[in-house]
Structure 1
Amino acid sequence: MTQNDEPKRRFASSPCMASGVADGGTAPVVGDDESARDVADWRKDERTRLRAERLAMSVESRKAAAHALADQLHSFLERSCGAMRGRVFSAYWPIKGEPDLRPLMRDLHDAGVTVALPLVEVKQAPLVFRRWTPDTRMVRGDWNIPVPPPEAEVLTPEVTLAPLVGWDRDGYRLGYGGGYFDRTLAALTPRPFAIGIGLQAAEIATIHPQTHDIRLDAILAEEGVQVVRRAAI
């Protein structure tokens, strides 16, 4: 049976359960310099392809996907994380065609959730999370992304979103290539519950994981929960 013949899987496991390599092969050998370069080149090409496909979506399709994702995420948080009031939840400011969940950020804030946004304060260092409210005066941060100002409170998230360029069913994330999110998850103690947010069409067979890649705890797309690896905290 080929990969295309396999039945489509919508759920990796129950939201309360803790927990394919392309063409049936194996990932490149970790530690092999040539293989690592091959993986880096392949990921660069995949990022280019997936971002182009995302940007080619119509405005209406992108809005519909974002709305569906917001509904999926809201239900998942209620089901898996329980009462979020008073907890620190890190979202993201959408760029480059990413699903826009800012209306959900406002809804969570109004429900008593403490919302934060990640930003780069120091190059090649873990991300910092600053508090956000609908009244926050945003400033331009790294890559010209709007971020809360320096005087905003610095927080440690209990639940964090990770926007996905691509994703696989082992829970690995293809991001923009800077390594910031993996570096951040490795540094935070306790580690937040990390939820990948991406489009259904961005699923790939494997990202060819390397030693620095950290698996997400869950992945959601507009069609529903795709991966759950551990129970939410």
Structure 2
Amino acid sequence: MDSDHDDEGPAHYSSPPCFMHDPELRAPLSDWTDVKRWRKAERERLIAARLAVSADARTAMSQRISESLDAVIGDVAGRVVSLYWPFRGEPDLRPWMASVNERGGRTALPVVIEKGRPLVFRAYTPGDRLEKGVWNIPIPAEGDPVLPDIVISPIVGIDPGQYRLGYGGGFFDRTLAAMPFKPLVIGVGYELQRIATIYPQPHDIPMDRVVTGTFKA
């Protein structure tokens, strides 16, 4: 899911967003075109940095993130947890997904139905049949739509305000805004993805928690 609507036109704001929450930012970007250009470049840089980490190191970090999620969430029995299929070096939480089901929870994966529309969460248990979705990411071939109590969302970047830099499709904010209740939203990633700011816009929704395998957030 994505935290920024980079593929859409500029929004109209009643007041300019504040970018000065980091004292090191001497010339904050205020023009949407500049923010969009900056986000694109920063996204590419962060993904390259993530992919440069060895597979063994990513596996170890994914395990620590799983342990941290257990500490943050607690008992998963009777709760619906939406996760994701790992893409381009994202933390691989599929073993943890299996453990959620073993402990009495239910799991789901997000599905892109159409550009510009909210995601649908489809029930998924490891072993269920998958098919290729957007970007060839596997999605459940069947499965009832569900409303998750907890949404685990991978980050490309994260700033001190818990604002998440995603892939630019705007699905994340659109989906949360359409839900009838607010789930617990947890961003997951690596420490190297922490940045000074994403230049948050009024449509950006911050994470409730961020887990990077440490307990810093």
Letter in 2 for 1:195: I
Q: Does 1:200 align with 2:201?
A: no
CA distance in 1, matches of 2:158, 2:83: 18
CA distance in 2, matches of 1:39, 1:158: 32
Q: State the TM-score, normalizing by the size of structure 2.
A: 0.87
1:87–1:114 contact (8 Å) kept in structure 2 = yes
Matched with 1:229 is none
Matched with 2:86 is 94
Q: Does the residue aligned with 1:96 lie in a helix, a strand or coil?
A: coil
Correspondence for 1:211 among 190, 202, 217: 202
Q: State the TM-score, normalizing by the size of structure 1.
A: 0.81
Letter in 1 for 2:161: D
Matched with 1:65 is 61
CA distance in 1, matches of 2:28, 2:148: 32
1:72–1:225 contact (8 Å) kept in structure 2 = no
User: 1:131-153, CA deviations, whole angstroms, 9 ceiling, x for partnerless residues?
Assistant: 0112201111111100101x311
Q: Does 1:49 align with 2:45?
A: yes
CA distance in 2, matches of 1:38, 1:134: 42
Q: Does the residue aligned with 2:186 lie in a helix, a strand or coil?
A: strand
Q: Does the residue aligned with 1:117 lie in a helix, a strand or coil?
A: strand
Letter in 2 for 1:128: V
Matched with 2:12 is none
User: 1:61-94, CA deviations, whole angstroms, 9 ceiling, x for partnerless residues?
Assistant: 111111111111111111xxxx321111101110
Q: Does the residue aligned with 1:23 lie in a helix, a strand or coil?
A: coil
Q: 1:115 to 1:210 in 2, by over 3 A?
A: same
CA distance in 1, matches of 2:26, 2:210: 24
Compute the displacement of 1:22 (Å).
6.2
Correspondence for 1:75 among 68, 71, 78: 71
Unaligned stretches of 5+ in structure 2?
A: 1-20
Q: Does 1:177 align with 2:178?
A: no
| Runs of 4+ displaced beyond 2 Å | 24-29
Correspondence for 1:36 among 32, 35, 53: 32
Aligned residue pairs, count: 197
Compute the displacement of 1:26 (Å).
7.0
CA distance in 2, matches of 1:212, 1:22: 23
Compute the displacement of 1:54 (Å).
0.4
1:128-143 aligned within 5 A: 128-143=120-135
Compute the displacement of 1:200 (Å).
0.5
Letter in 2 for 1:101: L
Q: 1:22 to 1:137 in 2, by over 3 A?
A: farther
Matched with 2:8 is none
CA RMSD of aligned residues (A): 1.3
Q: Does 1:158 align with 2:158?
A: no
Compute the displacement of 1:182 (Å).
1.0
User: 1:84-131, CA deviations, whole angstroms, 9 ceiling, x for partnerless residues?
Assistant: 211111011100000000000000011110100001012210000000
Q: Does the residue aligned with 2:167 lie in a helix, a strand or coil?
A: coil
Unaligned stretches of 5+ in structure 1?
A: 1-19, 30-34, 227-233
